[in-house]
Amino acid sequence: MKLTNTSEYALRILTYMAKDPAQLYSAKSLVEKLNISDKYLRRLMTTLSKQGFIYSIQGREGGYSFRKEPSEIRLADVVDAVEGMDTYAGCVLGFEECSCENPCVMHATWIKVREEFLSVFTNTTLADIDFEQAKRY
């Protein structure tokens, strides 16, 4: 039950920004706060920008800010944008073609976990995060 580092980064960045969504965040400040490799973060921000989650403002005094409302950004959207949700929406056992009519041996077991994951990640938006209790990003 693991996301790629890239998804972890994307979620950490966007949830961090969502705590104070009006602000403009420089790559530098995000790198310092979140301890993510500078160049990798920048590349990821460009992806998130092209995917429509954030604006990127170039030049001096530039940075990143939300393009969509945090309440319109579901966790699943973020994961989907940076690594794809296919593997998570699909089969534990990695089978390509699958349906509940043609189940594999793990299906009944797996489906419970998968549904929980999908329902949490599609029903939670960046605005639903409990920022009060969070002590780290």
Rounded to the nearest 5°, which phi and psi values hold at 124? -105, 130
Could you say which of ligand SF4, a second copy, DNA, none residue 45 binds, taking C-beta under 5 to 8 angstroms by partner kind?
DNA
Round to whole Å and give the CA distance between 120 and 124: 6
Q: Which is nearer to DNA, 18 or 30 (CB)?
A: 30
Q: Which is nearer to DNA, 53 or 64 (CB)?
A: 64
User: Identity (one letter) of the amino acid at 137?
Assistant: Y
Q: Which two tokens stand for residue 77?
A: 């959207």
Q: Which is nearer to DNA, 37 or 123 (CB)?
A: 37
User: Identity (one letter) of the amino acid at 128?
Assistant: D
The stretch among 12-20, 23-31, 92-100, 116-124 that binds ligand SF4 (CB under 6 A) is 92-100
Contact positions vs DNA (CB under 7 A) = 4-6, 9, 26-28, 37-40, 42-43, 45-46, 49, 56-64, 83
Per-residue mark of binding to a second copy, 118-137 (x: CB under 8 A): --xx--x---xxxx-xxxxx
The continuous run of DSSP H or E covering 114 comes out as helix 107-123
Q: What is the CA radius of gyration of the chain?
A: 17
Q: Which two tokens stand for residue 118?
A: 């999908």
Expressed in angstroms, the distance from the first to the final Cα of the chain is 19
Site for ligand SF4 in 105-124 (CB under 6 A): 106-107, 110-111
What residues line the site for ligand SF4 (CB under 6 A)? 91-93, 95, 98, 103-104, 106-107, 110-111
